[in-house]
Structure 1
Amino acid sequence: MKVAFLVAPAGVEQVELTDPWQAVRDAGGTPRLVSTRPGRVQAFHHLDKADTFEVDQVVKDAEVGEYDALVLPGGVANPDLLRLDHKAVAFVRGFVDAGKPVAAICHAPWTLVEADVVRGRTLTSWPSLRTDIANAGGNWVDEQVSVCTSGPNTLITSRKPDDLKAFDEAFLEEFAKKGAGP
């Protein structure tokens, strides 16, 4: 399983990148860091700078067909910056249109809202996104993990870092069901 992790050049919540990344590796998959610019991305621990990570591929050069699934880590600034990049938004929409599973945690569903892929879908997120998701036609629930199979693809969403264990287990199970698993 080859999984794209889409992040902006700065602002990703480090644990929401590294924990799912390790879960993919532990399951025998190949995670790849995709960003809007080459070089390194700056991760954060809440509002404090954390580590940097090498970008494997720039989104303008990435194709949905290269990957089995997509993970969207959160952080407040990360999805907000991705929403402004047309290629990043199109990349996300491409996974949905291709019927490939997408997993998003915390603030990452903002990118799903921007890609206009939440209408009629049930998902969860950090609580402050509730109104944005509802305004985009989605059904927001306050659950540790939401797995929505209605629509063209499976959306796996989670609320926050405390939910990472459940998030990792849910997305790995769904990735496997969709033929994206090891």
Structure 2
Amino acid sequence: MPELNGKRIAILATNGFEQSELEVPLNSLRKAGATVDVVSLEAGEIKGWDEKDWGRSVPVDKVIGDVSVDDYDGVVLPGGQINPDLLRVEPEVINLIQAFWAQKKVVAAICHAPWLLIEAGIVKGRKVTSYNSIKTDVINAGGQWEDSPVVTDQGLITSRNPGDLDAFSQKIIEEINEGRHEHRAA
């Protein structure tokens, strides 16, 4: 039996997500048996960024206004420079991320996506990693930045870059299986 049967995970993204940072976790989590929804600002498709140019489109399963934290066991936030920068100015996005955190559910962010964690007020006092170019942003927001491939702090999973996607995906599976992280402060 796949290890995430019965679990539901949201991947929150918009145009400009780093292609591999959405697709690898999406495929890994589905392969592990989870129901995974790509949640975005609008219906239809969103277009990825693949290293130096626009990449493939991915279908949007749900629009952010139609989802609730109660529908999911965790949320994955792909990076790239464009995606988190567009999302962090959307109050519905920040409110949803804060709701996952408040309910002690898994929140996973890679590359530049910790910008969303900063905007949501989640990194202060937490061990996190990110793409190197936003290290100062994380530190200025009170995060304890680590130069590690994947860092986990009570259900908060962060990863540096696309080269760490397999370890990032495996850590998401592990943390989702652990369930809510009741010992962390909301």
TM-score range relative to shorter protein:
over 0.9
User: Equivalent pairs: percent with the same residue?
Assistant: 43
> Which aligned pairs between 1:1-182 and structure 2 lie closer than 5 A?
1-8=7-14, 10-149=15-154, 154-178=155-179
The 1-side partners of 2:25 and 2:66 are apart by 23
| Cα distance per residue 1:38-97 (max 9 Å; x no partner) | 111011102311111111111122100001110001111000000011101111111001
The 2-side partners of 1:72 and 1:93 are apart by 13
The 1-side partners of 2:58 and 2:167 are apart by 24
Q: Structure 2: any 5+ residue segments left out of the alignment?
A: 1-6, 181-186
Matched to 1:118, the amino acid is: V
Matched to 1:39, the amino acid is: G
The 1-side partners of 2:28 and 2:120 are apart by 26
Query: So what's the TM-score if we normalise by structure 1?
Result: 0.93
Matched to 2:177, the amino acid is: A
| Cα distance per residue 1:130-170 (max 9 Å; x no partner) | 11111111111000100101xxxx10110001001111111
RMSD: 1.2
How far is the alpha carbon of 1:111 from its aligned partner? 0.5
Runs of 4+ displaced beyond 2 Å: none
Matched to 1:108, the amino acid is: A
Query: So what's the TM-score if we normalise by structure 2?
Result: 0.91
Paired residue secondary structure (2:98): helix
How far is the alpha carbon of 1:26 from its aligned partner? 1.0
The 2-side partners of 1:91 and 1:37 are apart by 15
Size of the aligned set, in residue pairs, is: 175
